Amino acid sequence: VIGVGNMGRGHFGYAGTKTVAICDVDKTHLAAAQADLGGGVKEYHDFRELIKSPEVDIVHIATPPHWHGLMSIEAAKAGKDIWCEKPMTRTIGEGKKVKEAIAQHGNIFRLNTWFRFKDDFYGMNVPVSKIKKLVDTGMLGWPLKVTISKHTGFDWKFYWVGKENLPEEKVPAELDYDFWLGPAPYKPYNKHRVHTTFRGYWDYDGGGLGDMGQHYMDPVQYFLGKDNESPVTVDVDAPQQHPDAVGTWRRITFTYADGCQIILDGEAKDEKAAYIEGPKGKLYRGFQSDIPDLERKLAQYPEPAPQITDFLESVRTREKFALNEINGHRSCTLVNMGLAALRLNRSLKYDSQNELFINDDAANRLIHQPMRGPWSI
């Protein structure tokens, strides 16, 4: 496990595995991890040494997101299978390179968001697969508008807001701050920039959207059948963002080429509002609908194709995990498109095939952001 703060330690003890090595640049994290594991586990300061270890079969990456792409690629080159925390990468360009590395080396990759196979989703009280089944029948019509707001679990808009103009503080002796920064630009240390509050800073993540956006939008991508494409536009309603500290926002709208939309609406509070709207019908909380006799009609249709939801089954069979580097990159692109529009405070057009913003140099610079030396991918 690389990164044994609260998130990394929370994944110890996965059935069928043994934690043989841990890595962190904070000695207090390593000590806490040893205590959780009963001691005696091999420790590393440099993740590259852990990845080289012949004892390691699977690398679990639980660091801040500015490390996810680089570490995933290094693990792929070393022939390791990979379990990576969300968001998959901090930029679209890093996601493309992770996907390419795994295609080249044949690794199994799991992105750690499980929402697309949740049994009780968005207050719907049904599995995501049942929502997909309904969408696939065409009973709601097409195109569809999906609104993620407070009535469907959206309560994270204000999470992880950064603080502006923080004073420099002394780096704790137990933390290798330069290594913690790694490929991120150098900024003077302040405790609010690291560990549990790092998500509020653009250099490392993207606030609540970076933290939770892939959790909530990946299942929508799945049941809309959009695992192999991205939206063509993203529109934002938000105040101007600070160049360093992530702020809040009101509404983000993603529109696909066929007219389907995903809307993140932090202002809506109506619990009776529709979650999915189509030209033929609507779906509400509790899997309620304005389509008469929905359950009987739905029972006549086939179930969606099964997904592999046991990571170790994927490792054994070499069949792709349900949420892998391909569809995971696409749902992470949703997050990064939204973050780019927020940072620039304007609507953006996107070329889904070539994975570039259209006629917008500033937005495309956010796709391929430079890394601080000596780090590169």
DSSP 8-state class, residue 245: B
Lowest mean pLDDT among 35-39, 120-124, 136-140, 149-153: 149-153
Per DSSP bridges, beta strands 356-357 and 58-61 are unpaired
Type of residue numbered 112: N
Structure confidence at residue 233 as a pLDDT band (50, 70, 90): very high
- 312-345: b or e for each residue (b if 16 or more CB lie within 10 Å)? bebbeeeebbbbbbebbbbbbbbbbbbbbbbbbe
Q: What is the pLDDT of residue 155?
A: 64
Helices marked H in 106-170 = 128-137
170 by Cβ neighbours in 10 Å (0-12 / 13-18 / 19+) ranks as exposed
Q: Supply the pTM of this predicted model.
A: 0.96
Q: What is the pLDDT of residue 158?
A: 66
Cα angle, residue 177 at apex, residues 176 and 178 outer, rounded to 5°: 95
May I ask the CATH class of domain 117-160+205-367?
alpha beta
Q: What is the pLDDT of residue 266?
A: 75
H or E element in which residue 117 lies: none
DSSP 8-state class, residue 155: -
Q: Which residues contact 103 (CB under 8 A, 6 or more apart)?
A: none
Q: What is the pLDDT of residue 119?
A: 83
Tokens standing for residue 216: 């909530």
All CATH 3.30.360 domain ranges in the chain, comma separated = 117-160+205-367
Task: Name the superfamily (CATH) of residues 6-113.
Answer: NAD(P)-binding Rossmann-like Domain (3.40.50.720)
> What DSSP string runs through 277-306?
E-SS-EEEGGGEESSTTHHHHHTTSPPPPP
Residue 194: CA count within 13 A, CB half-sphere: 24
Cα angle, residue 12 at apex, residues 9 and 16 outer, rounded to 5°: 165
Q: Higher model confidence: residue 3 or residue 118?
A: 3
Type of residue numbered 196: T
Say if residue 195's pLDDT is above 80: yes
Q: What is the pLDDT of residue 156?
A: 63
- pLDDT 10s digits, 89-107: 999 999 999 999 999 999 9
Q: What is the mean pLDDT of residues 301-319?
A: 96
DSSP 8-state class, residue 175: B
Q: What is the mean pLDDT of residues 179-188?
A: 99
All CATH 3.40.50.720 domain ranges in the chain, comma separated = 6-113
Q: What is the mean pLDDT of residues 286-311?
A: 95
Say if residue 231's pLDDT is above 70: yes
Share of the chain above pLDDT 90, in %: 87
Q: What is the mean pLDDT of residues 167-189?
A: 99
- pLDDT 10s digits, 13-70: 889 999 999 999 999 999 999 999 999 999 999 999 999 999 999 999 999 999 999 9
Q: How far apart are CA 127 and CA 123, in angstroms?
A: 10
Q: What is the pLDDT of residue 153?
A: 62
Q: How far apart are CA 65 and CA 221, in angstroms?
A: 21
Type of residue numbered 116: R
- 9-24: b or e for each residue (b if 16 or more CB lie within 10 Å)? bebbeeeebebebbbb
Q: What is the pLDDT of residue 346?
A: 98
- pLDDT 10s digits, 323-347: 999 999 999 999 999 999 999 999 9
